[in-house]
Amino acid sequence: TQLLEQSPQFLSIQEGENLTVYCNSSSVFSSLQWYRQEPGEGPVLLVTVVTGGEVKKLKRLTFQFGDARKDSSLHITAAQPGDTGLYLCAGTGTSYGKLTFGQGTILTVHP
Amino acid sequence: EADIYQTPRYLVIGTGKKITLECSQTMGHDKMYWYQQDPGMELHLIHYSYGVNSTEKGDLSSESTVSRIRTEHFPLTLESARPSHTSQYLCASSHGQGHGYTFGSGTRLTVV
């Protein structure tokens, strides 16, 4: 079973601060995705990265896939209260189409 | 705009009742999944399907069963609900490997 470890598990910051969430594994993933989930809703896909070393930007969010495709990071610049939520990384390994999810990072941005 | 629909959104039932959680998608995705999630916690895969008449158990043991008679429909059934089944159940679908999942809004089940 391929495991993904996310850190930190909880993050509480003030509006305007920057933050980084990490997703690490000892296994290689063919692709890695980041999701954001709000309370009472299902996760929503933010980005998919497939190439080692790839960097993708989505407004204030920057996603990076490690060169060896074993890790990823999500960086948020100038966080806003609307960024509050549960952030989940998920990787596709050898099982066709099946995702392995990390434990999630609960982000709270205070006004 | 949701392309995958779960009903009901909330359900409170008594112990021993049989229930079916509905999940339908309009995207023509072959692959569908059921996850169980406690609030703010990670997702645990309980069932998945790669197409019609294909169902597999996931990583987390579950007393529920699923069926996939039509591409768009993937219902989950609990024959006899127990308080330990209290959780949020999320349905998802995907186009294929490397493609993102589209999740429904979930069914929050409480068994009393």
Name residue B23's beta-bridge partners.
B6
Q: What is the pLDDT of residue A76?
A: 98
pLDDT exceeds 80 at position A51: yes
* pLDDT value for A100: 86
Model pLDDT for residues B81-107, shown as the tens digit of each residue: 999 999 999 999 998 766 789 999 999
Rounded to a whole number, what is the distance in Å from the CA of A17 to chain B's nearest CA? 23
Distance, CA of B61 to CA of B107 (rounded, Å) = 19
Contact A42 B104 (CB under 8 A): yes
Query: Is A98 touching B (CB cutoff 8 A)?
Result: yes
Q: Give the pLDDT score at A77.
A: 98
Cα separation, B68 vs B75, whole angstroms = 7
Number of H helices, E strands in chain A: 0, 11
Q: Is B96 in contact with A103 (Cβ distance < 8 A)?
A: no
Q: Per-residue pLDDT averaged across A95-110, rounded? A: 86
Residue pairs spanning A and B at CB distance below 8 A: 60
| CA–CA distance, A106 with B106 (Å, rounded to integer) | 19
Q: In the predicted model, what is the mean pLDDT of chain A?
A: 92
At residue A2's C-alpha, the angle toward residues A29 and B52, to 5°, is 85
What residue in A sits closest to B1 (Cα-Cα)? A44
Task: Give the phi and the psi of residue B85 in degrees, each rounded to 5.
Answer: -85, -5
Residue A95 has a pLDDT of 56
Each residue's pLDDT tens digit, A60-73? 999 999 999 999 99
Q: What residues 49-68 of chain A have any CB closer than 8 A to a CB of chain B?
A: 50
CB-based contact, A25 to chain B, within 8 Å: no
Q: How far apart are CA A55 and CA B20, in angstroms?
A: 42
CA distance B95 to B36: 21
Place of tokens 């596709």: A92
Please list the rounded mean pLDDT of every run of 10 residues in chain B (112 residues).
88 97 95 92 92 91 92 96 96 83 96 97
Inter-chain touch A31–B97, beta carbons under 8 Å:
yes
Residue of A90, A91, A89, A84 whose CA lies nearest to A106: A84
Q: What is the pLDDT of residue A14?
A: 97
Read off the tokens for A21.
Answer: 């969430």
